[in-house]
Each structure stands twice: as structure tokens, then as C-alpha cells.
Amino acid sequence: MQVFKHHVIFDEITYDRQKLENFVNRFIDNTSDFSEWSNQIADPMGNRRFKTIPLFKCIDTEKIEGKGLLEYPEIAELANLFSFDRPLNKRSVDILVYEPGYVFAPHVDFYMYAGIMFPIMPDDGGEPIDFYEKEGLDRQRATGYAKELKESDITYSYTYSTIHPSMFNGLTIHGVRQVQKRRVFLRFKMVDDTFSGVIRKQQLGKFIKTPYNALENK
């Protein structure tokens, strides 16, 4: 495990990016609006909570084939590598699709403590994630940082590994500049495990369940 201020690389694990790309290609022509999927997961009665965000999509396998992501071995075998405080469920696993032109405005993910990310497309991991710090900034808002932050407030950037999964701290301000190529990531959302808590667990050998030797990307 490589530990940095706002992200971690789980180098104990390798994953097969091409295998995930092959999986995604089965569904990529039938993407769903991410807010529509989120609202359905959070509120099956149809009371919408999230507004549509142009160019932000996801792959809803339940809508396409009637099966949740965790019912597919390509996803389940990765989820089973980790010992989460609360087992993953359909609300905490998604495949995010960002079309070219999308911008992740600087924000804090108050709905999750941390996210484990498996880049799928593009094959180089795409644009890096930027981490911001600015003294005196109101950290209680989940959005709205774009007007208060500038490039000089980036403390560092991280280009995701496409060999090892990475975890980022959702409670630090982060964003991604304009997407140039379609960006597809598998994400495990942690709503009980904190960023620092996961690090402590793995330092004790209690987070990653078993060694994993999937094929590395070529």
C-alpha cells in the first residue's frame, strides 16, 4: 500500500483493466443518466432528488439485463477482495461514464467518506484528479468551490494507476479538469469506512482479504 496525503494506491492488488473494458463494452451503447439511476436507487417511488448533469452517465445493468453489478463475476471478484465495515450493495457500486467535455468542479463528497477507483477507459487513466487546499474555505458545502478556487490552489494531482486500484479521500476538496476522452471508472463507495480508517486497517493486514494476482495491463 502506497499512502499519500489524499490518496492511496493498493499495490498489493493488480486488476485486469482490459477484462473490465470488455465487460463495459457489452453495455456502453446503453448508458443511463447518472442522476436518473441515483434517484431510482435512492427513491424507487420516483421522487427525484438529483438534477440531471449533462455528460455524466453510468451503466445500469439492472435496467439492461435485470442484474445488479455485484451479480457479475467481473465485479464481484473485485468487491470480494476488501473487508468493508459494511458489505457493498447496489447503492455503493457503480460504473461512471463521463463524456468528453465534462468537468468535475472542485467539491467534497459528503455522501461518502472515500472511494476505491478502478479506471477502465481511457487506457491511460485519463485526466488526473486534483486535490485542493485553501485556508479559510467553508468546507460545509458539497458544491460551489469553482468560483473560490483556482489552479494555484491545487496542492497536488494524481494520475490514476491502471494496474492497481486507488482510494481517494472524499472529504478533501477534489476535482478533475475537462475530460478529453470518454472516461469510465468502476467505483466502490465507502459510507462507513473512512479514508484514515482504511489505512489503519490495512496497516494491520485487515482490509485486503487475500493476495490478488489478476493479469496486469499490457
Please give the full DSSP string across 103-142, using - where no structure is assigned. Answer: -EEEE--TT-SEEEEEEEESTT--SPEEEE--TT--TT-S
Task: Say which CATH architecture domain 2-209 belongs to.
Answer: Sandwich (2.60)
Question: What is the domain partition of the chain in residue ranges?
Answer: 2-209
Q: Note the pTM of the prediction, 2 decimals.
A: 0.88
pLDDT score recorded for residue 129: 97
In tens digits, the chain (218 residues) has pLDDT values of 999 999 999 999 999 999 999 999 999 999 988 777 676 665 444 445 666 677 889 999 999 999 999 999 999 999 999 999 888 988 899 999 999 999 988 888 877 899 999 999 999 999 999 999 887 776 555 456 767 888 889 999 999 999 999 999 998 999 999 999 999 999 999 989 999 999 999 999 999 996 544 444 33
Query: How far is residue 157's CA from residue 45's CA, in Å, rounded to a whole number?
Result: 40
